[in-house]
Every structure is written in C-alpha cells, then in structure tokens.
C-alpha cells in the first residue's frame, strides 16, 4: 500500500535502515555524494519506504519489508524489483531500478533501491489541489490509459511469464486474502467472512490473463506537475498475473465522487472538482481495451473486500508494533475496515441482480 511521499521532518535516523551500511551499498551503485541522510516516506502502509538524500540533494528511494510481522510473499521486495525491472523498457512509466540486495545481514532485511521520481502524489484533497482543474481531468485520462497499457504488456516478452499462475485469478485471490485474514486475525471478522462466501459463489469467467498491478489508484501514481500526466506508477508489491478487471474494480473503489452518500476512505483526493467520474473512467477503459465490462460490479465488490482484508492485516501489524515507533496514521484503520466491510457486503448483494 506504499507510495513515495514527501519525507517527514524527523531528523533522527529512521528505524529499519542502517545509514552507514546503506551508504556503502549505494556508493558502489550510484553517484551519490556522502554524507547521506535518510527519512521515512509518509503514507506507507506495508513495505517501508525511505528517501535517501546526498550532500548535493540528489535522492534515491529504498524499500524494505516491515520490521516484523511479515506475511507470506506480500513483502517480497526482490519480486517487486523484478517486476519494475521487467517493465522498465515498456511504455508503462516506472522508476528505474538501481539494485537489489537479498542478504538480510546488511540492514536487517532484503531491500532494493530505485530512482526518485519527483512530482505530485494526490494522496488527499490538499495535494490534489496542487493540480489545476484541467490537469485533474488530464490525470484522470492518463491513469486509465496507463492502466490499459499495463494490461496490454506481453507477459512472456518481458520475462514475467512465470511470475504467477494465470488462470483462476479471482479464486486464488479470494483464497490468498482469506488465508492472510485468518493468519493475521486479532478480532472478529465475521462480516468479511460472509462477503467471502458470496464472492466465492459468484466468480465471473476470466478472460486472457494480463499483469495485474494489485493496488492501482491515484495516490500510487506520480503526476507531472506541468501537465498532470502520469510520470511513474509505484507500489508493485501486490502485482501478479490474472484478471485485469480487478485493477479497474479497485480503482473505482478508491474513486470517490461528490454525490456519494458516505465516504469509506479518509480525505479522498477525487472529491476535488475536475476529476473524471467513475462512469467516464469505465468508458475510457472500455474504449482503450475493448473488454466487456458488464460484470464490473463484481470487481468493485471484490475490491472493497480485498482492501478491507489488506487493511485488517495492516491494523494487526500496527497493533503488534511492526511499523516501529515512528508509525503515523495507523490508529484509525480499525474503524475503516468495518466501513469497507459494509461497503463490500452492499456491493456483493447487487452482484447477479
């Protein structure tokens, strides 16, 4: 759930990153000039993201798993590095990778480094207002076009054919997140269990498999401040192969509109006037890909459920202290999970009607 946000103002070295060790490691791979300083990027909810700045104010980004409480392959940074490296030569905008380290002895966990891409990350209404209204509309179209290009990437040609199974994506995802929900349970999750049973009974037929980002949303994109176009797509840790409509469904979950009766997510950036409507996003994606979107309601219901499961896991790790003493913005996640579970139940009840 991470993106490269502006660093905090905390002058202390952040937990989880040995600055002396990372200085030596980066010295052999980049032209950064010591001394280096590092800060935790704000807004992260899963893998830990650090912005490392050199004496000349040049920046790189380092990613590592949480301090503890890691589940399955959800925090496999080497896998994330592989995906970014494979997409580098394509027309999908991603940061350039600088190297990956699988030896946990260096900083206490595997990690990788990538270029810092400057721009606007519209994670809330204040940051979204940094874009003029016409650029908000541009961003709306650009993010759909980039998603369509991602779903058109030739999996085998870029070397990701063995990244995951291609068939039965939704069944696999339902099993995966249900399993992680059970493993990380810290409280009653019966509402999510009920939605899981309904979704498992109504799985639509899958078309040809594509790369699935897994968390495609506005605040996982870096936007060019001069045009509003997407400069880079971030946060690839949930990426797999399967049904591309899952990406579109989750994007619609995050795309809150002014006419919505209630808001499931805090301070959604798309409430700022100028962004496209969900209907316009769907129409643009259909035009760009030619895919049948008659079952999109199922994917929206699945998106609410999946997001609730992910945030329940994050909430559990927060309670256990996995994000360290400088964790911010986690305490409210428990209540948010309950709201998302209700939204998932409502959307799932509409499937098949």
Query: 7-44: per-residue pLDDT in tens?
Result: 444 457 788 899 999 999 999 999 999 999 999 987 55
- Going by the DSSP 8-state scheme, the letter that residue 109 receives in this structure is S
Rounded Cα–Cα distance for residues 189 and 154 (Å) = 39
Q: What is the pLDDT of residue 265?
A: 81
Question: 64 by DSSP, 3-state: which?
Answer: strand
Rounded Cα–Cα distance for residues 8 and 350 (Å) = 42
**pLDDT beneath 70: ranges in the chain:** 1-11, 43-45, 68-75, 323-331, 352-353
Q: What is the pLDDT of residue 26?
A: 95
Rounded Cα–Cα distance for residues 334 and 316 (Å) = 9
- pTM flag (> 0.85): yes
Q: What are phi and psi of 162, to 5 degrees?
A: -105, 15
Element of type H or E holding 283: helix 278-289
β-pairing, 240-242 vs 210-212, is antiparallel
- Going by the DSSP 8-state scheme, the letter that residue 11 receives in this structure is -
Q: What is the pLDDT of residue 43?
A: 57
Q: What is the pLDDT of residue 333?
A: 76
Rounded Cα–Cα distance for residues 237 and 315 (Å) = 18
- Cβ atoms within 10 Å, residue 201: 10
Query: 59-113: per-residue pLDDT in tens?
Result: 999 999 887 655 445 468 999 999 999 999 999 999 999 999 999 999 989 999 9
Reported for 8-11, long-range contacts at CB under 8 A and 24+ positions apart, including other chains, are 8/39, 8/40, 8/42, 8/326, 8/328, 10/39, 10/40, 10/326
């Amino acid at each position: 759930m991470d993106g490269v946000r502006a660093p905090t103002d905390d002058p202390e070295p952040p937990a989880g990153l040995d600055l002396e060790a990372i200085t030596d490691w980066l010295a052999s791979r980049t032209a950064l000039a010591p001394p280096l300083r590092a800060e935790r990027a704000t807004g992260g909810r899963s893998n830990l993201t650090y912005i490392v700045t050199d004496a000349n104010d040049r920046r790189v980004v380092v990613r590592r798993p949480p301090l503890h409480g890691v589940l399955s392959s959800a925090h496999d940074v080497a896998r994330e590095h592989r995906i970014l490296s494979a997409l580098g030569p394509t027309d999908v905008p991603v940061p350039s990778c600088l190297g990956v380290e699988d030896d946990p002895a260096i900083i206490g966990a595997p990690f990788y480094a990538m270029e810092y891409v400057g721009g606007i990350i519209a994670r809330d209404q204040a940051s979204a207002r940094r874009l003029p209204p016409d650029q908000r509309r541009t961003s709306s179209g650009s993010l759909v076009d980039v998603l369509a290009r991602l779903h058109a990437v030739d999996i085998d040609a870029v070397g990701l054919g063995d990244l995951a199974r291609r068939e039965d994506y939704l069944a696999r995802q339902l099993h995966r997140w249900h399993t992680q929900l059970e493993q990380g349970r810290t409280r009653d999750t019966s509402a999510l269990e009920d939605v899981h049973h309904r979704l498992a009974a109504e799985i639509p037929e899958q078309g040809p498999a594509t790369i699935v980002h897994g968390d495609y949303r506005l605040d996982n994109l870096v936007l060019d401040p001069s045009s509003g176009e997407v400069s880079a797509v971030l946060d690839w840790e949930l990426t797999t192969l399967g049904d591309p409509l899952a990406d579109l469904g989750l994007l619609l979950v995050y795309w809150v509109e002014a006419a919505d009766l209630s808001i499931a997510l805090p301070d959604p950036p798309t409430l700022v006037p100028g962004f496209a409507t969900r209907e316009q996003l769907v129409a643009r994606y259909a035009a760009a890909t030619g895919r049948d979107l008659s079952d999109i309601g199922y994917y929206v219901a699945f998106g609410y459920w999946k997001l609730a499961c992910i945030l329940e896991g994050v909430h559990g790790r927060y309670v256990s202290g996995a994000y360290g003493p400088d964790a911010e913005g986690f305490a409210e996640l428990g209540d948010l999970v309950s709201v998302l579970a209700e939204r998932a139940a409502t959307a799932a009840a509409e499937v098949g009607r």
